[in-house]
């Protein structure tokens, strides 16, 4: 009777284990990506709530909201402030109320969406904060509808927040 040594793994067993590990790691990477997107969207919502609190304090002390910066695009004036301008205090007059205003965490497929936008009405009696979520439908609380901040882009629905 011949006895064979039976220690070690066969090539088939090793290939099955490697395939299972590859499948599990792929699933982990996919779930981690969606968790990161949800975390960035949660940060955006928290940042906007922080901005709203600072704007409310500013309004209580000054009976108006801060002015927006006005820019001219294709013979039209847009009065808004965006964090993309490079100024750490991108909402004028808010320096004493928030240090510094928060910035979008990024991650969008279009870099123009990686920012928050503040729009104050001409009479400074109201404002709209615009931000772009990565996951799910946009939350248009202010009923702003489709907006086109960055020509020549197609108008898009941005998430919005207004004074309570």
Q: How far apart are CA 2 and CA 130, in angstroms?
A: 79
SS3 71: strand
* pLDDT reading at 138 higher than 90: yes
Range of the domain at 133: 11-161
Whether 2 maps to a domain, the answer reads no
Residue 3 lies in a domain: no
Query: With 90 as the cut, is the pLDDT of residue 160 above it?
Result: yes
Query: Is residue 85 a part of any domain in this protein?
Result: yes
pLDDT (tens digit, 9 = 90+) per residue, 12-34?
989 999 999 999 998 888 878 88
Query: How much is the pTM?
Result: 0.77
Residues 150-161 as b or e (16 or more Cβ within 10 Å = b): eeeeeeeebbbb
Residue 98 lies in a domain: yes
Report, as an integer, the average pLDDT of 67-80.
Answer: 64
Indicate whether 41 belongs to any domain: yes
> In the chain, how many domains are there?
1
Give the model confidence (pLDDT) of 110-121 as tens digits.
Answer: 888 888 888 888
Q: To the nearest 10°, the Cα dihedral for 149, 154, 157, 162?
A: 20
């Amino acid at each position: 009777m011949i006895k064979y040594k039976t220690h070690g793994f066969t090539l088939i067993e090793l290939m099955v284990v490697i395939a299972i590990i590859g499948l599990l790691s792929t699933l982990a990477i996919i779930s981690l990506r969606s968790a990161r997107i949800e975390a960035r969207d949660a940060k955006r919502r928290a940042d906007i709530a922080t901005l709203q609190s600072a704007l409310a304090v500013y309004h209580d002390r000054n009976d108006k909201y801060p002015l927006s910066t006005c820019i001219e695009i294709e013979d039209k004036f847009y009065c808004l402030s965006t964090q993309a301008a490079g100024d750490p205090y991108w909402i004028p007059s808010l320096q004493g109320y928030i240090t510094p205003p928060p910035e979008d965490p990024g991650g969008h497929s279009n870099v123009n969406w990686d920012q928050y936008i503040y729009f104050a009405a001409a009479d400074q009696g109201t404002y709209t904060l615009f931000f772009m979520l990565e996951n799910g439908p946009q939350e248009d609380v202010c009923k702003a509808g489709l907006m086109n901040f960055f020509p020549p882009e197609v108008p898009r629905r941005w998430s919005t927040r207004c004074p309570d």
